């Protein structure tokens, strides 16, 4: 049983397209995190949110606590956005649970 | 960038040998974690620490031990490496806020370990 489910697993988009990655979770959370991992690279925190919406540049993250769902949107996608995007939740037991990631490829 | 470094970054070792990976932080965060990342799996928790000398097991702790003698250092030891422990290992740090883990998690750059 996975506490965090992401969809899609793989995503290919043309440069400039609007992209949405979805995340559902089944545990009580203190926060939800969106992470980015470039091929062969480290893991970088993009967002941490516990309610509402956050925006950073072309990236927008939303969360619906009642539905236990979050989305990561990328506007005007660019080849440099190609990476694996990981959804994670930190629960009230002070643990992190991770989704298996969404591999995004943006084609020029 | 958060001050968290892993060493070594790459290691090849032989089956049966002991291996120690080091995670060093300069953020004074209480929580430190070791994860392994394998294709088809999300990050899986090996061990974590919630303070000096305070550690606990994660879901894939068999074959691994940890130690934390100082706030800034968290060591992961493979007592006798096996091929199934070939993986990419990530260290992470975080801190409590208001009693909950609702601050950012920071990750090291990862250690690619190959057991031959």
Q: Which residues of A47-75 are buried (b: 16+ CB within 10 A; e: fewer)?
A: bbbeeeeeeeeebbbbbeeeebebbbbbe
Find chain B residues with C-beta within 8 A of A33's C-beta.
Answer: 104-105
Residue to mutate among A23, A37, A39, A43, with most B CBs inside 10 A, is A43
User: What pLDDT does B101 receive?
Assistant: 60
Measure CB to CB from residue B42 to each of A48, A90, A101 and give the nearest one: A101
CB pairs under 8 A between A and B: 69
Residues 6+ apart with CB under 8 A from B1: none
Q: Which residues of chain A have pLDDT under 70?
A: 1
Residues of B with CB under 8 A from a CB of A: 31, 33, 35, 40-43, 45, 48, 50, 90, 92, 94, 96, 100-110
User: What pLDDT does B100 receive?
Assistant: 64
CB contact under 8 A, B42 and A41: no
Residue of A nearest to B105 (CA): A45
Q: How many other β-carbons are positioned within 10 Å of the β-carbon of residue A37?
A: 20
Q: How far apart are CA B115 and CA B14, in angstroms?
A: 5
Find chain A residues with C-beta within 8 A of B106's C-beta.
Answer: 45
Q: How far apart are CA B94 and CA B82, in angstroms?
A: 30
Residue A43 near chain B (CB below 8 Å): yes
Find chain B residues with C-beta within 8 A of A101's C-beta.
Answer: 42
User: What pLDDT does A41 receive?
Assistant: 83
Q: How far is A71 from chain B (nearest CA, A)?
A: 18
User: What pLDDT does B103 receive?
Assistant: 73
- CB B8 within 8 Å of CB B76: no
Q: How far apart are CA A92 and CA A27, in angstroms?
A: 9
CB contact under 8 A, A94 and B105: no
CA angle B76, B78, B79 (to 5 degrees): 125
Q: How far apart are CA B2 and CA A77, in angstroms?
A: 27
Element (H, E) at A89: strand A83-91
Q: In the sheet where A59-64 sits, what is the strand order?
A: A4-7, A19-25, A69-74, A59-64, A52-56
Gyration radius of chain B's alpha carbons: 14
- CB A37 within 8 Å of CB A101: yes
Query: Which residue is associated with the tokens 């950073």?
Result: A56
Q: Which residues of B2-31 are buried (b: 16+ CB within 10 A; e: fewer)?
A: bebebeeeebebeeeeebebebbbeeebbb
- Going residue by residue through chain B (116 aa), what tens digit of pLDDT does each one get? 669 999 999 999 999 999 999 999 999 999 999 999 998 888 999 999 999 999 999 999 999 999 999 999 999 999 999 999 999 999 999 887 666 666 788 999 999 999 99
Q: How far is A27 from chain B (nearest CA, A)?
A: 14
Q: What is the DSSP letter of A50?
A: S
């Amino acid at each position: 049983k996975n506490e965090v489910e992401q969809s899609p697993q793989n995503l290919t988009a043309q440069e400039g397209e609007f992209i949405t990655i979805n995340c559902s979770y089944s545990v009580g959370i203190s926060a939800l995190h969106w992470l980015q991992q470039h091929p062969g690279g480290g893991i970088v925190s993009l967002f941490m949110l516990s309610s509402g919406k956050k925006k950073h540049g072309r990236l927008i993250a939303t969360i619906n606590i009642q539905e236990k769902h979050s989305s990561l949107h990328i506007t005007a996608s660019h080849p440099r956005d190609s990476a694996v995007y990981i959804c994670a939740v930190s629960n009230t037991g002070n643990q992190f649970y991770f989704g298996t990631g969404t591999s995004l490829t943006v084609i020029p | 960038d958060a001050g968290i470094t892993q060493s070594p970054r790459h290691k090849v070792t032989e089956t049966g040998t002991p291996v120690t990976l080091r995670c060093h932080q300069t953020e004074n965060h209480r929580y430190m974690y070791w994860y392994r990342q394998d294709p088809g799996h999300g990050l899986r928790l090996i061990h974590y620490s919630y303070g000096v000398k305070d550690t606990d097991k994660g879901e894939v702790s068999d074959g691994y031990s940890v130690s934390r003698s100082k706030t800034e250092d968290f060591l992961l030891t493979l007592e006798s490496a096996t091929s199934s422990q070939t993986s990419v290992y990530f260290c992470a740090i975080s801190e409590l806020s208001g009693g909950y883990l609702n601050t950012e998690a920071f990750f090291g750059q990862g250690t690619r370990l190959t057991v031959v």
